[in-house]
Structure 1
Amino acid sequence: MLERARTGDDAAFARLVAPYRDELVAHGYRMLGSRQDAEDALQEALIGAWRGLAGFAGRSSLRTWLYRILTHACLRLAERRRRLLSPAYGPPRRATADLGAPVPGPVWMEPWMDEPVSDEPGPDARYLRREGVELAFVAALQHLPAVQRAVLILREVLEFPAAEVARMLDTTPASVNSALQRARKAVDERVPGPSQRVELAALGDEGRRELVEAFVGAWERADVAAIAELLAEDVRFTMPPLPAWFDGREDVVRFFAERVFATPWRLVPISANGQPAFACYQRDPDDGRFRLGAVNLLAVRAGRIVEIAGFIDPAVGAASGLPAELPGESAAVR
């Protein structure tokens, strides 16, 4: 297949790289904080790989070679933009009347929509089971210098040896190890405490199911008191591309009471970034139909919700693969 691709057979090249495509997109997402940016970087990388295939000498695996090309494409894109979560953009608000005008452009982090993971061992299973796509972790990565970001992902998430990473980045193993130490420290400062995978494991399947059911029920009933019972004292609620976000249970509960529950909703549990998430459908007052209004992710700590990360950009909804409209209140989303 490699020899056929080298002779210009583009179908052979497509088959050659297909087994790696999903994990490469995940790598781009970690590097850039946006699936769309990751797809753009991968497209650039695959064009470069196609053009440079004749020079692939086989000194590393094809997978490693593709990671090298994609990482450099991500580094170039990272020089021009950085994706953020709301707390990194501006201070929280208390008043709910003015949420600010949407901030356009490639500014905001985007969610990673989870897909079922096979129980079979292999790269596709491993790269999705790791904590490497959790929202707080990927957000923390965006604050690192791009090369440190690449080193941390390649070494700790993907477990490439230091010597291999050095070859990928045209540097030395000593430089890789130094960058890794600095990156680890910076990320640990931004993401203290257990990962969401650890928190959810402690909650257990039944505890997670109970939390999801309680959250959905309280939201759909517009039950402010029930929502408040589920929230940690230091909970925060974000909603890019609107700049407004709310910090602390008192202000978050006020936002629910004064703005969120002003209209009926239906929530469909999904999963994103390895965390509980919801497709949130808002009733249109004109025709009564429930249309996708947000994708919300939950972060938990000791069984309580510590963050509701809402994404209300229609482009995020369109790219999520979720139905734009809920056919009926009993409809399910796969």
Structure 2
Amino acid sequence: MTDVATSAPVEAQLEAYRSELTGYCYRMLGSVFEAEDAVQETFIRAWRGYDRFEGRAALRSWLYRIATNVCLTMLGSAQRRILPMDLGPAGSGHAGDPGEPRPEEIWVGPAPDGRILPERSDPAEVIAARESVRLAFVAALQHLPARQRAVLILREVLAWSAQEVAELLDTSVASVNSALQRARATLAAADTSADVYQPMDDEQQALLARYVRAFEAYDLAALTTLLHEDVTLSMPPVPLWLHGTEDILAWMTGTGSGCRGSRLVPVVANGMPAFAQYRPSQTGVGHEPWGLTVLRVSAGRIAEITNFLDTERLFPLFGLPARLG
């Protein structure tokens, strides 16, 4: 992306980079809420220092330098964000208690595509952008030291040269290349594979339609045919996670049976298919928010179901209604 015209007001020049900077900060921080805070701080610093900027460097590079410093500062005092699978082995589908919810600050969270992915016309760029914000990829990034994380995102995702990254981080090209090599080795051990989400793909849409029909009918036999045998289910902010169809079905027929009668509203999160789940209201009228479900599809079946239960913050973020009916 080229720099915006310098004749535009400074606020407009900064605003043109909001979505791509939010995507960068989201990959760095693992939270769209923290990413938006980081971008706002970046814009404040840029606005205050704009008179001293004087075009000595490209505006985009300057903003990324500020955003990187903001993120590194935030990461210096923050706990690494995780998914439930990082806490330990899978639990039992017969467990009656999923565990006490953990603080929001420890979880990798979902993000609407519109907040973190700038508009692109090239289909290949669209696909690459979606792949770079998948939950599994963002979660894997959190295992990297902060500066390695920045190097890998700038080099592998944003396609900056080693020289450009070295200048941004005030280091050498050799140091950048070394950090990139170590980061790649760490990510190689993580399973970030998934089918590329293509909303216009007939087979993918058929799979998702069958998922919606089976879930809303609570037809667990039909649902099982759509899942990989080693499918996982997690429910941040509770720590319990399940592995395999047997445990997931045991959970859904037991403790999780309150999902019976739910309605699903399609959304897109992290370049992946997702649904807002509304459970039947305890008043007997309409449906109330229960969770935001993000699906990972692999080899034509559902390989991962992540239910984010922080509906008070997530549903407004995704522009979802407070209730149905």
What residue in structure 1 maps to residue 214 of structure 2? 218
Give unmatched runs, 5+ long, in structure 1: 6-11, 328-334
Q: Distance in 2 between matches of 1:45 and 1:119?
A: 23
Instruction: Give the 3 Å change call, closer, same or farther, for CA 142–261 of structure 1 in structure 2.
Output: same
SS in 2 for 1:186: helix
The match for 1:207 among 203, 209, 223 is 203
Q: CA RMSD in A?
A: 2.4
**TM-score (normalised: structure 1):** 0.88
What residue in structure 1 maps to residue 224 of structure 2? 228
What residue in structure 2 maps to residue 307 of structure 1? 304
Q: CA deviation at 1:128?
A: 7.4
SS in 2 for 1:215: helix
Q: Distance in 1 between matches of 2:5 and 2:298?
A: 48
Instruction: Give 1:1-334 correspondences, 5 Å limit.
Output: 12-81=9-78, 82-94=80-92, 95-115=94-114, 118=119, 120=121, 129-191=129-191, 194-197=193-196, 200=197, 205-262=201-258, 263-314=260-311, 315-327=313-325
Q: Is the 8 A contact 1:2 1:13 kept in 2?
A: no
Q: CA deviation at 1:39?
A: 0.9
Q: Distance in 2 between matches of 1:276 and 1:136?
A: 14
Q: 1:200-252 CA distances to partner (integer Å, 9 max, x unpaired)?
A: 46x98111111101110111111111111111111110000111111111111
Q: CA deviation at 1:2?
A: 8.6
Q: Is the 8 A contact 1:275 1:299 kept in 2?
A: yes
Q: Distance in 1 between matches of 2:289 and 2:98?
A: 19
Instruction: Give the 3 Å change call, closer, same or farther, for CA 177–138 of structure 1 in structure 2.
Output: same
Q: CA deviation at 1:114?
A: 2.1
Q: CA deviation at 1:264?
A: 1.7
Q: Is the 8 A contact 2:194 2:296 kept in 1?
A: no
Q: Is the 8 A contact 2:101 2:237 kept in 1?
A: yes
Q: CA deviation at 1:4?
A: 8.2
Q: Distance in 1 between matches of 2:211 and 2:194?
A: 21
SS in 2 for 1:168: helix
Q: Distance in 2 between matches of 1:89 and 1:55?
A: 46
Q: What code does the residue aligned with 2:185 have?
A: K
Q: Distance in 2 between matches of 1:141 and 1:174?
A: 21
Q: What code does the residue aligned with 2:85 have?
A: P
Instruction: Give the 3 Å change call, closer, same or farther, for CA 325–279 of structure 1 in structure 2.
Output: same
Q: What code does the residue aligned with 1:109 have?
A: V
Q: Is the 8 A contact 1:90 1:243 kept in 2?
A: no
* TM superposition outliers: structure 1 runs of 4+ over 3 Å: 1-5, 115-122, 125-130
Q: 1:33-87 CA distances to partner (integer Å, 9 max, x unpaired)?
A: 1100101111221121122222214232101110110011111111222211111
Instruction: Give the 3 Å change call, closer, same or farther, for CA 178–72 of structure 1 in structure 2.
Output: same
Q: Distance in 1 between matches of 2:40 and 2:126?
A: 23
Q: Is the 8 A contact 1:270 1:278 kept in 2?
A: yes
Structure number with greater CO (CA < 8 Å, separation at least 6) is 2
Q: Is the 8 A contact 1:212 1:269 kept in 2?
A: no
Number of residue pairs the alignment of both structures matches: 315
Q: CA deviation at 1:127?
A: 9.2
After alignment, is 112-121 or 308-317 more displaced? 112-121
SS in 1 for 2:13: helix
Q: CA deviation at 1:90?
A: 3.2
After alignment, is 181-190 or 112-121 more displaced? 112-121
Q: What code does the residue aligned with 1:120 have?
A: S
SS in 2 for 1:22: helix
What residue in structure 2 maps to residue 8 of structure 1? none
Identity among equivalent pairs (%):
44
Q: Distance in 2 between matches of 1:4 and 1:287?
A: 58
Give unmatched runs, 5+ long, in structure 2: none
SS in 2 for 1:297: strand
Q: What code does the residue aligned with 1:167 have?
A: E
